[in-house]
Structure formats: structure tokens, C-alpha cells
Chains A and B, each alone.
Chain A
Amino acid sequence: MADKDEIKNIEEEMLKKAREGEEEQLQEEELNDVKLKREKLALKREETEDNKSKEENGKQGARGLEALSKATVEKSARFVVLFAFILFILDITFQYKGFNIVVTDGGSLFSGILEFILSLFYPILIGVMFYWLIAKKKGWASIISFIALMIFGLFIISILVPNFHPLILIHILYILFFWLAFIKGRDDEARANWILIGLLFADLYLFSAINNFSSGLAESFMGFPFLFFLTIAYVYKETGNLWAAISIVLVLGYYIIVATPTADYFQGIDVVKEKIPLREWPGLFIERVIKEPSEKFGGGTSSWFSSQIQYAITGKVEKNKDEPLGVYLENVQPADKKYYSDENVVVWGTVNARTLDDPIKIKLGCYVKKDGEKIKSNEVDPEDKVTVYKLEEQDFVCTFTENPVSEGVLKEGINTVTAFADFNFETLAYLKTYFINRERKRAMEREEIDIFKEFGIKDKKPISVYTNGPAALGMETTTPLIGVTKEYNGAFPRLSISLKRNKGWKGNIKELKEMVIIAPKGVKLEKCAGDYQAYDKAKCVDNCNKFNIYEDDDAGEENACESSCASFFEDIGEDENLYSIDLNKSSDREFDEDEDDDFKFFTCSFNPEISEVLEENSPITTKFFRAKARYDYIVEDDVTVKIEKSLPDLDK
């Protein structure tokens, strides 16, 4: 506007001068001057318009970029959610644990890690040079985080290459993708690097770290999808992606309802599907929602503590390639959704059994608990004990007949019926122990020589390995490396054995029938806490008959015991020494069925004979202690049966 006024003023001035007759007097320079001014103004106007349009374009461009990156983020979010969900399914299927590392010697682990880091001096130097050249921000914080990331990355590669597992690689790729899509561009470089290290460590090593501290705790968390929740929660927070929210809800629901053994107490709560009389609500609420889970949770926690503190004999289950050994109840359910009070109540199920050795005799049945007493069902099919050889599946049916409601066995409303399988089973365990001349051991220790490292022995703390089944048979000696000498002067090394219910198994050990210790060549038991005696085939048969291990065998009890004992002694070496622990005292053999963590503990001192236990040509000798426990076990499964008041007879 100001420019237009200026032009107007100039023109008016010219007209005025012309009217006054002074136009002729206007110098050519003044005319040119005016023309120049006009041209300048026009140019200025053009420039202003140019700038305005450029600004407009710039704004559009920025909006365009923003729109483009938002679209990319959205796509990335969808991809991450899908990737994470697939990963979750794979983790559940393959029981992902990251690098399942067992530390046998903490000291060498730390020195090994230190040596590894020191060996990376040159690669790190080159990496830092690269980083310095190409990084936008060159602060010390980002360089240090980059070095840490490089070391950690190389550490992962050094473990992954010899222990390649595709699922681990997929996890790493997922974490890298998530980091690139959501973390790298949004946080400062150093922080982004540390977040990547944290994610990789948690996903690949956290299980191993916890497992080496407490295997019980690690098992509780095994299968929990930390990575899934962390990353998808972040995606949801950043993008509000609906699929992220849905997948979190689905997975959380899955985990709570189905996923891990430690969620068992939820399975103990049967969801009441149908209408329940109002008067039963408070009782049911207290019983089912408060009392039962609290007892199971409290029991589980205290058993974890007690297993860590009260006795420390650990062991691990020998893996089976196919189905695990033992007896399992499956698909236990009432035959009908509901019954009336004048009807027979029928519960059925399937029992699965697998053994590699002696046949299992299983007594099936059902009971209800009333006033602390177990009232069994009137009929069971099959009525007699079922004998399972190797691998079998057997259906069974329990029937409560004779007006169970009017007899007071069952009641109208919700009833808990327990199906059980009572069977004999046998668990074997072995414990590796090293023997060395005591003088040599002392000499090497005095010279600060690591004996295990010197002899290339990686398994420095062997633990008892027991066969699959309902019982855990733990064994341990005073030390894994026993110094052998001619004279112990009373301070003999000791062997301890424990028997308790195996983790993850329902039911209880009813009674220990037989505990046999098999000592290696040259090792004799010196003294036990209780009585014990030598064990041979005759003793085996005698015990078998005495405790009715094989009852009502069609082939004849004696034959079953003979063949079982013959089969057992086929596995025994000529020079091994066998002993059986005296179980005459009921406290030594009977388990308290009300206490989930009841266990039996035996300890004996032993005397290794130097000329027999040490192999002549070997500086260190490896031998195995073995044990066999025969016991009766009862496995149970609860089911809810609903009984309604019977309808009146219309005919009457």
C-alpha cells in the first residue's frame, strides 16, 4: 500500500509540473529516476511474492514429511504388533528361555568375560573410529554407550554362533527392528544404545541369570512374555495402535488362564457356569476365591523358601525324548452338566501311563470329602487294578449310586469330586562323584591348582539326575571331589538322599516301599542314620513280597517279583555294593498326605577303599552313586458336579 501511494505521489507531482508548464524543464535524469524507482518497486513486489510462495511450499513440505513419517510409524507399529504376536506363539511352543546358560564356576565366568572384553581391543578401536567419523553427535556418553553395545553385540555373536538357535536369532531381529523403528530416532543416541543393550540382555540372559540363582523362581517366570509386553506397551503408548491394545489383552488373558504351572491355583477355581442359589454365594466366595488360592499361593511360596533353606539336595529330571514317565489323569469330567438329586452321579476320565521298566499297577477311583473323611464312589470301572506295560491309555468311570444325595454323600448344589489314580512307581537316580588320591588333592590345592580345570572337567558341581516321574530323588556327597586315603580317622565322607514329590505333579507320595543305595566299586557304607543291610536279589524278592508291590498279579506274585528283581540286577555291575535302608519305622516310610512338601531324608557315611576305588592309570576317577526308590503314589484331579433338586413326580 505504501508502495502504491509512493507511485501515485510521483505521478501527481509529474502532472502538476506538466500543468504548470514545467514539463519541458524536467531533466531526462528525473524521468529516468522515476522509471528506475518504478522498476525497483516492481522487482521488490515480485520478490515478496516469491518468498511468500516459497514459504507456503515449505509448510506444505513439512506437513508432507510429517504425514509421511506418521504413515511409516503406523506401518511399523502394525508390523511390530504382528511380529511380536508370532514371536509370542513361538516362545510358548518352544518354551523360549534365551541362552539357557548354566554357570558351574562363577569365578571362571567373570574372569572369562573380562578376558573376552580385553581380547576385543582392536575391533573396538576400529569401531570407535568409524563411529567418530559418521556419528552426528560425538559426545563421550554416546561413544561409551556405543562401545558397550559393540562389546555386548560381539558377546552375543560369540555365544550364538556355536549354539545357533533360529528362535534366538528371530528374537534378536525383532528387538533390532523395534529399536530402529521406535527408539533410535526418538531418544538421544546414548540412551537409545543403553535401551537396546537392556532389551537384549533381558531377553537373552535374564532367564539364565535367575535360573542360576534360583531354578524355582526361574521356572515360575518361564514362558512369561516380557519382551512382548514391554515392546507392545511402548508401541501402544506411542501410537495408540488398536491392535497393540488387543494383543496385550489377549496375551495377558492367555497367560493368566493357561500358561504356566505356577498358575495352577487358578485352575483349582472352577468357574461356576450356571445359576447358583444365593445362599451358597458367601460360602463359595470364601472357599473358592479367598481360602483356596491363598492356601495354594502361600503353600507354594513357603515351599519355595523351604526347599531353598531347609534342605539343599537338588537334582534334575532326566529328559525323555517322548512322553514323560509316570501316570497322568486327563479329561476328568462329569458325564452330565447337571444331575438331579435322585440320579446316579457319573464321573469319567482317562489315565495315561508310561514306564520304561516294571509294569505299573493302577487303582482308579473317585471320592468326595466329607467332614475330613474320604467317601469313595460305589462303583468304578475298571474295578480291579489296571496293569500298564510301557505306554497305555485307559478310560475309567466312577459312579455314585444309591441316592448319594439322600445318603449324604453328595449335596444339592456344587460338589467337588476327586478322581484318583493310586499306583506303584519307581524312581532311579544317579550322582556323579570324583575321586582322587587325597595327598595329590592336597598338593594341588596347596599349589593353588584348580583340579577340575587341570583335568578338563567342566561339570564341577554335579547334581543328582533322577528319572522322570512323580517323585524327585535327590542325592549329594559332602563334596563333589572326594580325597581318598587309607585312614580317615572317623571323618568319612557322607552321602545324603532325599525323596519328595516332583515339582509340577499333583497328588502325593503315599508310602515309601523301598530305598536302595548302589555304591560304586570300592565304596562301602560305613554308617547310616538308621539301620541298613546288604541288598541282593533274594532281599529284593523278599521286599517285593513283603510290601505287596505286585498285588493280585494273575501270573502269580512270586513270578512278578522274581522277574522284576532279575531285571533290576541286570543293570548292576559286578563290583557295585548294594544296600537297602530299613523302613520298618512308619515315620521313615509314610508321607503326610496333608502336607504337600513332606519329604524323607537319609544320610550315610561311606568308606572308599583306595586300592579299589581309584583307577590305576587315571589321576582322577569318576564314579556314580545310584539310588532306587519304590513308592506308592496317588495322583488326583478335582471336578465340579452340580446337583439340583429333583423335580416332583407328576404321576403321583
Chain B
Amino acid sequence: MPLNKKIILIFAVIALLLIAGCKGRTGTKGSITGVDIRSGVKGIAMDFVKGSPPKNVFEDDVFPIAIRLENKGAFNIEEGKGILVFGFEKQYVEATKEGDGEKQKFKIEGKSVFNPDGDTEFITIDAKVKKIGSQSESRASTILATACYRYETLLGTSACIDTDIYGAEVRKKACTIKDLSFGNGQGAPVAITKIETRMLPQEDDNRIKPQFLIHVENKGNGEVIRPGKYENACTSGALEYEDLNRMNIKALLSGEELDCSLGLDEEPENIIRLRDKKDIVRCTLEEGIEKSEGAYTAQLKVELDYGYSFTISKDITIEKVLKY
């Protein structure tokens, strides 16, 4: 192929890729589009404000530490339900206000129709540098910030209920049973990724039991804590293994609560346990549905209730002012 034709072809490929890569706004031009606030897999995002702490500090200095907290999920953190603790290498750095200074509470509102980006909060404390040793010129030190908060994942969707489990019905049905996938999350770090629908026969031939296999995954960068124990995660106290990777689940089909218990003695009802950040839970409408109902679409609602904890860190360098 002649060189100039090759070059033209190369530029054509680049142009195609650029065009394909550009995303236009959804919806027709000029129309108002609604923002789905229950999307995404983030909860609280946290980072150190630039320069707070500074990269280098000196002995006996006082310096600020500022944390920016953004609620990028769809759940509001109420007053007192969010805790932020700071960890220092206390031989070299400590908060100027011990105790309360190191532990702060926060509340932040999540995404809403009126605030699609969620709220941002800043928490600032001061820290003091101590001496680093007579023979040392500088020392590296790490500052930790751990956030612990209560969060919820809410999913509302429609599921097809078809009582004709053997496919004997010849009439055209109102809907078809299919698996539901949710790739975008529900505006929380723990996401429901998939729901499989099954219709099971009951002892009573005239009824069937709808059953849903709900796939849950921790998509965030922190750890899931049992909802009542999230405050413990921000202390030095003990945490049992039953407190980690546990959350409450509540599923409702057309307003009726489904039974999601594992049936095991070790776990209370409706507590699911993540293994390798994932789990599949079976929720069943035990009382069943009359076969005569036929096929119809029903409202399925799933609520996950849990605590969440994650930590960020920042390194600083403590320097000595050399006097010669």
C-alpha cells in the first residue's frame, strides 16, 4: 500500500476512535434529563486536602491536617452516624487536643435530586511535632485517617412473576422471567449486581413460591462491618470475626417481606456474610402465590444495611533545624 494511503488510513482510524470515544448527552437535544442518584458504587470518599498536612514539618511545629469527605452515594449519613479517627505515631506527632481531637463525628447528605453530586464536608485538626532524636536529621512519619459510618443500599426494581412454572400456558404472557443485572450499582459501596428469579413449586399444588437469588458485592475499598458494630471499628477495641463482612438484608415483593435467612444457627435471620467480598443470598416468599395469578410484574425492593470502614494514610517528613 502506498505510503500516503497508509497515512490517510491511519488518520481515519484515529478520527473514528475519537468520534466513538466522545459521549453525547443522553436524551434528545434540548430535553431535560433526570439524574439517577441510585447509581455508582461509592459511599464516602475521603482524602487529605493538599498541603494539610504539609510534606515536610519541623520539630516542635504545629501543622494542620484537613480531610475532605464527600458523600458520593445515595444514602444520608445522619448526625453522629459518621466517625473519623486519626492515627499518629505518637512518639513523634500527636493531636494538639488529645482524645476529642483525634476523634471527630460527621454527618453528610448523599446524592439527591436537588444535589446530584452529594455533599462535601471538611474536618480539620491541628497536630504537634515532637523531637526526633539527637543524632537524627530527619524522620518519616505516617498519619492515618479512618472513617466508620452506617450506610444502606436500596434497590427498587420490577420482577416478573410467572406461576406457569412448567410452561404449559399457551396464551401470550404479560412478562417473561429473566435475570436482572445491575452493572452500575445503587449509589453505595455494597452493590446488588444481579438478581435471578426462580419459581418453585409448593407442597400445595395450587401455589408456587417465588425465589430470588440476590448477588451482593462489596465494590468499595473498605470493609463491611455488622451494622451495630461500626463504631467499634474506629476504636482499638476487639472486633469478632462475626462482626466483619456482615450486613442486614431485607427484601420485599409487592410489599410482602421475603424470607432471606440462611437457616443456620450461627447467623441470626437476614444477616448475610460476604466471602471474598461477594455473596449470593436466597430470598423466598414462603407463603407463595396462587397459580391462577398467571404472569405479572411485581415490585421488588431490596435493602442492605451495614457499617463501612476504610482508612487513608499520608506520609510526612519531620526535619530537624540544624544549628550549625
Contact = CB atoms under 8 A, between A and B. Distances in A.
Interface of A: 126, 129-130, 133-134, 318-321, 325, 355-357, 390-391, 426-428, 430, 432, 436-440, 442-444, 446-449, 454-459, 467-468, 520-521, 567-568, 570-571, 573, 576, 614-624, 626
Contacts of B90: 521, 615, 623
Given A126-B17, A618-B85, A440 B239 contact: yes
A437 B236 contact: yes
A69 B140 CA distance: 55
B133 A571 contact: yes
B135 A467 contact: yes
B294 to A, nearest CB: 45
Contacts of B236: 436-437, 614-619, 621
A319 B17 CA distance: 50
Given A134-B6, A439-B238, A439-B240, A620 B135 contact: no
B142 A134 contact: no
B137 interface: yes
Interface in B204-257: 222-223, 233-241, 243-245
A459 B142 contact: yes
Q: Which 9 A-B pairs have the closest CB atoms?
A: A456-B313, A439-B238, A443-B241, A614-B236, A618-B87, A467-B135, A357-B134, A440-B239, A617-B103
Given A443-B241, A449-B223, A521-B90, 16 more contacts: A129-B13, A133-B6, A133-B13, A357-B135, A426-B135, A428-B135, A437-B239, A440-B238, A443-B239, A457-B142, A618-B236, A619-B235, A621-B87, A622-B89, A623-B91, A624-B91
Interface in B297-324: 310-313, 315, 324
B183 to A, nearest CB: 18
Contacts of B103: 617
A444 B244 contact: yes
A424 B236 CA distance: 43
B64 to A, nearest CB: 19
A568 B134 contact: yes
Interface in B272-314: 276, 310-313
Contacts, number: 150
B105 to A, nearest CB: 12
Nearest to B314: A456
A91 B92 CA distance: 36
Given A459-B142, A620-B144, A356 B135 contact: yes
B137 to A, nearest CB: 6
Contacts of B310: 454
Nearest to B1: A133
A567 B102 CA distance: 31
A446 B324 CA distance: 53
30 contacts: A126-B17, A130-B13, A133-B6, A133-B9, A319-B137, A321-B137, A430-B133, A437-B237, A437-B238, A438-B238, A439-B240, A444-B244, A447-B241, A447-B244, A449-B223, A454-B311, A455-B146, A457-B142, A467-B133, A568-B134, A571-B133, A573-B91, A615-B87, A616-B236, A617-B86, A617-B99, A618-B102, A619-B146, A622-B142, A624-B92
B: interface residue count bin: 35 or more
Contacts of B243: 443
Contacts of B91: 520, 573, 576, 623-624
Given A456-B311, A467-B136, A443 B142 contact: no
Contacts of A616: 99, 235-236
A73 to B, nearest CB: 25
Interface in B71-127: 85-92, 99, 102-103
Contact of B87 (A357, A430, A567, A620): A620
B10 interface: yes
B46 to A, nearest CB: 11
Among B87, B130, B237, B312, the most chain A Cβ lie within 10 Å of the Cβ of B87
B131 interface: yes
A443 B241 CA distance: 4
Nearest to A391: B324
Nearest to B145: A456
A319 B13 CA distance: 53
Nearest to B14: A126
A99 B135 CA distance: 29
B276 A134 contact: no
A468 B135 CA distance: 8
A571 B131 contact: yes
B235 A325 contact: no
Contacts of A520: 91
Contact of B10 (A134, A318, A321, A436): A134
Interface string B127-156: 000110111111000101010000000000
Contacts of A428: 133-136
A624 B131 CA distance: 13
B313 A455 contact: yes
Contact of B240 (A356, A443, A459, A626): A443
Contact of B144 (A129, A437, A455): A455
A65 B204 CA distance: 94
B2 to A, nearest CB: 12
A354 to B, nearest CB: 10
Contacts of B239: 437, 439-440, 443-444
B126 to A, nearest CB: 16
Contacts of B142: 457-459, 622
Contacts of B88: 615, 618, 622
A134 B144 CA distance: 51
A438 to B, nearest CB: 8
A456 B144 contact: yes
A323 to B, nearest CB: 11
Given A356-B135, A454-B223, A618-B102, A443 B244 contact: yes
A231 B195 CA distance: 61
Contact of B276 (A443, A448, A468, A614): A448
Contacts of A319: 137-138
Interface in B1-44: 6, 9-10, 13, 17
A130 B14 CA distance: 10
Contacts of A321: 137-138
Nearest to A390: B324
B238 A356 contact: no
Contact of B241 (A129, A318, A446): A446
Given A439-B238, A448-B276, A623-B91, A571 B85 contact: no
Contacts of A355: 135
Contacts of B130: 573
Contacts of A427: 135
A210 B312 CA distance: 31
A355 B136 CA distance: 10
